[in-house]
Amino acid sequence: MPASLPRPQYVPVPEAFISALAWKILDVDALENETGSHSDVPMVREPNGKPIGLLYRTGGGSSRVITIKQTLPSGERLSEFKKALSLSGLHIHGSEALLAEAILNSLDGVRVEKSASQPASPLTPSIALLQNMRGVSGVKGPPDVAAIVESLYARGAGSQPESLSASRLWLKAANRRMDVDPLLRALDTAVDRSLLGSRRKDTAQIDAEQESGALGSGDYTGTPFDWFAVVWNRLTSDAWVQALPARVWVDWATTVLRLATGMSFLWECAWNEEFARGVLREGTATWSSIRDGVPAVLPWRSSRAGKVALDVAPQLISKVHRSERIRVLLGDWQKDHDALDSTFESTLSDMRADAAFRLQLTDALGSERQTNSGKNLWEAIKYALKTRETSAAQADYYGLLRTNGRYLSVEPGTEWIAVVASLACENPGGFTDVGRLMSDLRSLGMRPDLPDLIGLLERAGLARGSADADQGVVIESAF
């Protein structure tokens, strides 16, 4: 049996995914253990033990349970940042203040509408550390987003001994980007010297299995986990890092992380339901047969359908709560029967023989009762996939779902299709076809209408050849 994924919560801003990886993989002991009382030091714990949330621009926000510190420098720290820029080799004729202001403004990430706070775009390792999950979420015990991402990647990467962890691959890509971009290297050094309070260190190599945690048993081929591992390996390769502008690479990386998170949890929901039905059915069932029985997890209906028909929220909400009821039952049964390490086949057989448990599963499949954990899971999925309502200057162009009044529909933006279609190509500047892209989307759990998909590709300027070629339409990478 596969272990459940770490339970998620709503991630307020896209940049938090990469910052979470940075806090996992970088040596930040100096920050963790800093106990100075100077209000400008971006420590993560008050002298009295109260946790600190870091955020690039706080907008004056506060919290009763944590102390929120702004990492955008002012006063003495701003002066230190100007000096650090100069020491790093960044100069302009004229005012150092203008240079510092321009650079700091250029780091602004997505600003969610009706929110005064704002993260930094994690262009380099040091900049990624300018916010932590406490800061962006405003809670004392935020979800371990890095552990979630590692769990998703580990399932897709399997037991390949050469596989690095997701966070290690990100760090390798970030360092490679700085190797080819001296400006980013200088900026990273300046932030390190002045805004973090103490120099960060890259960790020594950590075994991939240690980072990723326990793997769920089974073959995840053709699932969102599989897609994530393949695409993350591709995007973090030297070829793609060098081909994409720095800001574009970060946007693509956060898009992949958001998409992998939302679709993997939807797949887990569908898997739980399919497994429960497998317990109740007669006949032989294997890991592969249950996996292959998982239907499309996100209904992507034809654009010609009406607003009500296109609304995916009711179906997904029901699926999420149904899955949570089943997940709890499965976990409790395994603990009660000391079966956490049992094989898939023996667990399935023993569950089928338990009449009382079968009744519980039947009830869970038919109930519409909602759960608190289901509400948290739905929020996490929805906001991972949804286009954020943002200010015009820092808009979110990379969502898959969009709100139209009270309806939630699959409505990917041009930039979203550019990311997914381009990364279906093995190399930057490369080509693939609609058939390959459709295969990737099926792995993610979507089966779009072919004319709609070709229309999206044409609007993005990625389609080559006649639309009459259907799945043979050639796709050219955006970069």
CA pair distance 86, 476, nearest whole angstrom: 42
Most confident of 22-36, 241-255, 465-479: 241-255
Task: Flag whether pLDDT at 176 surpasses 80.
Answer: yes
pTM check: above 0.75? yes
**Range of lowest pLDDT (66-80, 189-203, 280-294, 364-378):** 189-203
Q: What is the pLDDT of residue 95?
A: 78
Most confident of 173-182, 281-290, 399-408: 173-182
Distance from first CA to last CA of the chain, Å, rounded?
Answer: 41
Q: What is the pLDDT of residue 215?
A: 34
Residue 216 included in any domain:
yes
DSSP 265-317: HHHHHHHHHHHHHHHHS-S---HHHHHHH---SS----TTS-HHHH--HHHHH
- Contact residues for 254 (Cβ-Cβ < 8 A; gap 6+): 14, 15, 17, 18, 398
Residue 462 included in any domain:
no
Query: Using 50, 70 and 90 to split pLDDT, how confident is the model at 153?
Result: very high
Token representation of residue 385: 């996939």
Span 213-229, pLDDT tens digits: 333 468 999 999 999 99
Q: What is the pLDDT of residue 78?
A: 92
The rounded mean pLDDT for the chain is 88
**Range of lowest pLDDT (6-10, 76-80, 114-118, 129-133):** 114-118
Average pLDDT for residues 91-120, to the nearest whole number? 85
Query: Using 50, 70 and 90 to split pLDDT, how confident is the model at 468?
Result: low
Residue 357 included in any domain:
no
Residue 222 included in any domain:
yes
Expressed as residue numbers, the domain containing 165 is 15-258
Q: Residue 392 — φ and ψ, nearest 5°?
A: -60, -35
Residue 111 included in any domain:
yes
Which one is predicted more confidently, 92 or 99? 99
438 and 444 Cβ atoms separated by less than 8 Å: no
Task: Flag whether pLDDT at 205 surpasses 90.
Answer: no
Which one is predicted more confidently, 309 or 376? 376
CA pair distance 109, 120, nearest whole angstrom: 5
Query: Using 50, 70 and 90 to split pLDDT, how confident is the model at 460?
Result: very high
DSSP 329-356: HHHHHHHHTT-TTS-HHHHHHHHHT-HH
Residue 319 included in any domain:
no
Q: List beta partners, residue 395.
A: none
Residue 410 included in any domain:
no
Task: Flag whether pLDDT at 71 surpasses 50.
Answer: yes
401 and 411 Cβ atoms separated by less than 8 Å: yes
Q: How many domains does the chain divide into?
A: 1
**Residue 124, class by beta-carbon neighbours within 10 Å (0-12 exposed, 13-18 middle, 19+ buried)?**
buried
Average pLDDT for residues 220-241, to the nearest whole number? 97
Q: What is the pLDDT of residue 213?
A: 30
Supply the DSSP symbol for 467. Answer: G
Q: What is the pLDDT of residue 82?
A: 92
Residue 299 included in any domain:
no
Token representation of residue 372: 């608190």
Q: What is the pLDDT of residue 314?
A: 96
Q: What is the pLDDT of residue 210?
A: 36
Token representation of residue 380: 């996490």
Query: Using 50, 70 and 90 to split pLDDT, how confident is the model at 212?
Result: very low
